[in-house]
Amino acid sequence: MAYQIENTQQGEKYNTIFSKVPAAERRKRNSRSRLRKRILLGTYIVLLMLPIYWLLNMSLQTNSEILGSMTLWPQNLTFDNYIGIFTDSSWYMGYVNSILYVVMNMIITMLVALPAAYAFSRYKFIGDKHLFFWLLTNLMAPPAVFLLPYFQLYYSVGLFDTHIAVALAHCLFNIPLAIWILEGFMSSVPKEIDETAYIDGYSFPKFFVKIFIPMISSGIGVVLFFLFMFSWVELLLARTLTSTDAQPIGMIMTRTSTASGIDWGTLAAAGMLTIIPGILVVYFVRNHIAKGFALGRT
């Protein structure tokens, strides 16, 4: 399959030696199988994009057109739904709130996860394996389990309905994930680098910031992508820990359904706008993302 696409020249050489099938026939077969792959992949991507396209389609229509007739694309293109969101502060503050707590979470997680991942990748210390395993168990904790205690805990310390509360709550799964991925990337950096730097007279903090962090920058980019992803998509905790001042966009979207029916156009436009930050983030890390998905371990 895959090997037929790459190195066709070398493949040709082997084929002429070992294959009874003539080279021309072989090439034709290769191009046919490549075409089949393209078609299959293309079909999958079209199916993947269909629901998103439908959302986009609806976000560019007025409610009367949405409910009036079935149209595969907007007949009267309108941006009113988007304009409505951008001119109403109770709407766009939802995006600001979501982005604020996601960025806070990314900063907090990185600050504590970088040294911890370094410790796990470089040193043996009492209880290291148990600690690592315990960290991973936090990834398996259903957010629903923590709903009530979080509410009470953050309420009692006066953090309820603040961005920092959501950012801290998302640390529950984001810190273990960050340490897990960073440890993989850090372990692939040879230890000799650390030793040489210490011999050259670098102190630990200086070495860490000046030499080590730049070396694993692609890993850090990938981790930031994952932190963004899991904090951005989570709603159950974010919704429970906020009421008005720090409400995430996902919660504000529920306002579109009122007694007089659902405001489909605005709902679709708001949904489209929640997809855009994700596209931006994935674009920045596209070259490292494949390695990142294997948690830095391939």
Partner 1 sequence: MNNKVQNNRAWLLVLPMLVLVAFSAIIPLMTVVNYSVQDVLGPNASFFTGTEWFRTMLNDPALHAAFGRQVAFSLIILAIQVPLGIGIALLMPKKGWQASAVLILITLPLLIPWNVVGSIWQIFTRNDIGLMGWSLSELGLDYNLTRNAGDAWFTIILMDVWHWTPLVAMLCYSGLRSIPEAYYQAARIDRASKWAVFRYIQLPKLTNVLVIAVLLRFMHSFMIYAEPFVLTGGGPGSSTTFLSQSLTTMAIGQQDLGPSAAFSIIYFLVILLVSWVFYTTIMHMQKDKNSQGGA
- Residue 194, both tokens: 């650390």
Residue 50 CA: distances (Å) to CA of 147, 170, 277: 34, 31, 20
Nearest-angstrom CA–CA distance, 256 and 234: 20
- Residue 58, both tokens: 């609806």
Binding to partner 1 by residue 294, rule CB under 8 A? Answer: yes
Our CB check for partner 1 shows the closer of 80 and 131 to be: 131
Sorted by sequence, the CB contacts under 8 Å of residue 281 that are 6+ apart come out as 224, 225, 228, 229
Shortest gap between Cβ of 95 and partner 1 (angstroms)? 11
Binding to partner 1 by residue 100, rule CB under 8 A? Answer: no
Our CB check for partner 1 shows the closer of 113 and 216 to be: 113
Binding to partner 1 by residue 253, rule CB under 8 A? Answer: yes
Residue choice 227, 249, 263, 269 for contact with partner 1 (CB under 8 A): 249
- Residues written for the chain: 298
Q: What angle do CA 99, 105, 109 make, to 5 degrees?
A: 150
Residue choice 85, 106, 113, 224 for contact with partner 1 (CB under 8 A): 113
Which residue, among 67, 92, 76, has the nearest Cα to 265 in the 3D structure? 67
Shortest gap between Cβ of 244 and partner 1 (angstroms)? 18
Shortest gap between Cβ of 7 and partner 1 (angstroms)? 7
Within residues 160-199, the interface with partner 1 by CB under 8 A covers 168-169, 171-172, 175-176, 179, 187, 191
Shortest gap between Cβ of 26 and partner 1 (angstroms)? 12
Shortest gap between Cβ of 88 and partner 1 (angstroms)? 19
Our CB check for partner 1 shows the closer of 77 and 283 to be: 283
Binding to partner 1 by residue 51, rule CB under 8 A? Answer: yes
Q: Please tell me the number of Cα atoms within 13 Å of 7 on its side-chain side.
A: 8
